[in-house]
Amino acid sequence: MKLWSGRFKENTSELMDRFNSSIGVDARLYREDIEGSLIHSEMLKNIGLLTNTEFQEIQEGLKAILLGIENGSLTFDPEDEDIHMAVERLLSERIGAAGKKLHTARSRNDQVAFDLRWYLKKEISKTKELVHDLMGVLYERALEETGTLMPGYTHLQRAQPIRLAFYLMAYFEMFKRDFKRLDNAYGLMDELPLGAGALAGTSYETDREFIRNRTGFERVMANAMDAVSDRDYLIESASVLSIGMMHLSRLSEEIINYSSKEFAFFEVSEAFSTGSSIMPQKKNPDAAELIRGKTASVYGRLVSLMVMMKGLPLAYNKDMQEDKKQIFEALADYQISLSVMTGMMASMGFNRENMLRATSEGYLNATDLADHLAKKGMPFREAHDVVGRLVAHGIKEGCALEEIDLSVFRELIPGADEEVYEVLKIENCVESKRSRGSTNLESVLDMLNRAQEWLEAVK
Ligand code: ARG
């Protein structure tokens, strides 16, 4: 018999039961559900709605159920509609009459909102740690690669030479913002919905502050209707996860490119590669490809949540039961992707010679020559044109700028001397960047110092 079947004369169809059931997905909220009930029953006792004996029975019953679920001796019935009904059924079976009082001053609507918020708060905290781990690895790898030069790209065309450490720290900064976004999302969702009842509040003199205090939420939600209706914190979390996945996916894309024979800058460790069932020579960057692929899934879940919510009238609607699978799966995809990226970056091989060689072909020093001429008084637009002509000359002759004869320089740049060859040295091009946040060694070391401080401060 269903816990809500009082007004029903007929049984619901077996098909409807299966369709309606969410226990397969929301069972994972059992801990929050039971702990919430433990605290709720304590509050009920405090305000005189449960006798001491009833309270004791409920406490012991709930604790036994929690233990039973954790040690695997208790399993859910596929006929249980959801985790809330399952726990209540198990409790009533175990302790009888007192169990039936637990749901006083509470609705499944505020219960599910509470369980999910609490669960998500914990998951967001775990996720922050995973982002932190990845940042720690990037920092370590950058520290080893301050002297490694590589091409920087725009349009995937060689643009200017940079330090590998500078490149790695660009991702560090993106991940730092992902971390902060998680933190912000946590702060906004840190409000207690329990006690809102079905939608209008309850007619009992409940003590929501007691529950807030015991569950560690920052604030009590101000409006009961809002408390049971909104899922913006899920959408916000899914959006934060999507942005995080986007960053992981861009790095993945670069790992895939850079580990190809065509680039041969990176070497993905065997621990994070796979082989081919037909081509014996293959070592594929599947880990990076899977992260890129899972990014699409996470975006899909964000969009599902947004579309699910956009037309729902207040307050609770059953559509919202679909929210859990979206957020659970998005979290799982992001968390494992973070861990895999951390492992992959920790064990990544960097081919310093190939990266350095790549900086010497493709006129990556052209901008520096133009800047040099501009500093000597030539208007920058003119300097750009002059260097463009020198590049065209180099392309025609099949040589680099630094291989062009001084006499050719002099035809285009009156008074040019040996200094141009100094300017054109790749190391000098990297060091010539003086602005704050640029790729020169001092600035990269400064970034690394700040990174270390940040990593320690938020630990
Ligand atoms: N399983 C439901 C969900 O996840 C719990 C809330 C049910 N509330 C209701 N009024 N039917 O959304």
**pLDDT tens digit sequence for 68-115:** 999 999 989 878 899 999 999 999 999 999 999 999 999 999 999 999
Q: Which residues line ligand 1 (CB under 6 A)?
A: 22, 26, 82, 108-109, 112, 316, 318, 320-321
Instruction: Give Cα separations from 254 to 157, 289, 350 (angstroms).
Output: 13, 10, 13
Catalytic (active-site) positions: 155, 276
CATH of 109-198+219-357, one of 1.20.200.10, 1.10.3720.10, 3.60.15.10, 2.40.10.480: 1.20.200.10
CB 175 within 8 A of CB 113: no
CA dihedral 397, 403, 405, 411 (to 10 degrees): 70
What is the tens place of the pLDDT at every residue in 348-361? 999 999 999 999 99
Q: What local confidence, expressed as pLDDT, does residue 248 receive? A: 98
- Mean local confidence (pLDDT), 129-149: 98
Sign of CA dihedral 395, 397, 399, 404: negative
Distances (CA, A) of 101 to 45, 51, 55, 59, 297: 11, 10, 10, 12, 42
The phi-psi region of residue 385 (left if phi > 0; otherwise alpha if psi is between -120 and 50; otherwise beta) is alpha
Residue 11: its pLDDT value, please? 83
Confidence bin at 310 (pLDDT 50/70/90): very high
pLDDT at 459: 85
Atom nearest to 316 CA in ligand 1? 10
Residue located nearest, by CA, to atom 10 of ligand 1: 109
Q: Which CATH class is domain 363-457?
A: mainly alpha
Mean pLDDT of 303-326: 98
**Ligand 1 geometric centre to CA of 316 (Å):** 8
Tens digit of pLDDT for each residue in 190-206?
A: 999 999 999 999 999 99
Pick the CATH number of 13-104 from 3.40.30.10, 1.10.275.10, 1.10.287.3510, 3.30.70.920: 1.10.275.10
Instruction: Give residue limits of the domains in the chain.
Output: 13-104, 109-198+219-357, 363-457
pLDDT over 90 at 4, yes or no: no
CA–centroid distance, 318 to ligand 1, in Å, is 6
Instruction: Kindly state the average pLDDT of the residues 12-39.
Output: 95
Comparing 399 with 77, the larger pLDDT belongs to: 399
Is residue 9 very low, low, confident or very high in pLDDT (cuts 50, 70, 90)?
confident
